[in-house]
Structure 1
Amino acid sequence: MLKAAIVVLLLATIASLFSGLFFLVKDEGDSTRLLKALTVRVSLAAATLALITWGFCSGQLVSQAPW
């Protein structure tokens, strides 16, 4: 369940990234839609990092790295 939530947040972050790119190209500079897209993207990235940190601390996510 946690991994699915992380994947959904990552996909939402990518969607926000492309919507920001669209607003950057199409808007004339008078709109605040680009700023709102950036705010959403940063919030989604922070939520993703928080979920990953919580997953490692709770033991639901484990690292298989050999070091």
Structure 2
Amino acid sequence: MLKILIVGLLLAVIASLFSGLFFLLRDESRSRRVLHSLILRVTLSGLLLLIIGFALWHGDLSMNPTP
């Protein structure tokens, strides 16, 4: 369940990235949709980092130090 949430958030960040690019090329600075896309992307990325950090701290995820 946790890994599905992480992958879902990663896909949402990528979708927000491409929507911001689309709005940047399409609107030509006439709207604030690029700004809203950036705010959404930063918020989703922060949430993703918090979830990964909490999962590592709680022991649900573990790092693999072996090559």
> TM-score, normalising length from structure 1?
0.95
Cα deviation for residue 66 of structure 1 reads 2.5
> What amino acid is aligned across from residue 15 of structure 1 in structure 2?
A
Structure 1 unmatched ranges of 5 or more:
none
Identity between Structure 1 and Structure 2 (%): 49
Greater relative contact order (Cα < 8 A, sep 6+): 1
Runs (4+) off by over 6 Å: none
- Aligned counterpart, 2:59: 59
| Partner Cα separation in structure 2 for residue 29 and residue 14 of structure 1 | 22
Aligned residues, how many? 67
Unaligned runs of 5+ in 2: none
Write the deviation string for residues 6-57 of structure 1: whole angstroms up to 9, x where unpaired.
0000000000000000000000212000000000000000000001000100
AA at the equivalent of 2:20: G
